[in-house]
Amino acid sequence: MHDSPKHIADILNDLIKEQRWEHSIASNKIPLLWNELLGDKGKDICLFQRFDEGKLFIHVHSAPWRNELSLRKLELINKLNQKIGFPLVKEIIFR
């Protein structure tokens, strides 16, 4: 008896898990997810710099916005990790 064919998406997901590529793939999505999170307004107030070892570095153009984003840091981390599907972002550093 033959197994039923697997969908290509399932095969790719299995490969990603076997090779432990989840973190690498998710890390590459962070700039897009950050922009989605802040929307059009975010493009005017801040700029993604880099993501390194759980730390997200964001350049903020003005001190008042840096303060506002700092106050919402935990909320932003939670929303990003929720979109990713696991706790990848540990810290956001606003500069």
In order along its 95 residues, the chain shows pLDDT tens digits of 567 788 888 777 776 666 666 777 788 899 999 999 998 888 889 999 999 999 999 999 999 999 999 999 999 999 999 999 999 999 999 99
Residue 22 burial by CB count (10 A; 0-12/13-18/19+): exposed, middle or buried? middle
Instruction: Kindly list the domain boundaries of the chain, sorted by start residue.
Output: 8-94
The strand pair at 46-52 and 55-60 is best described as antiparallel
What pLDDT shows up at residue 19? Answer: 61
Q: At 59, give phi and psi (nearest 5°).
A: -90, 125
Q: Which CATH architecture has domain 8-94?
A: 2-Layer Sandwich (3.30)
Model-level pTM?
A: 0.80
Which pair of structure tokens corresponds to residue 83?
């979109």
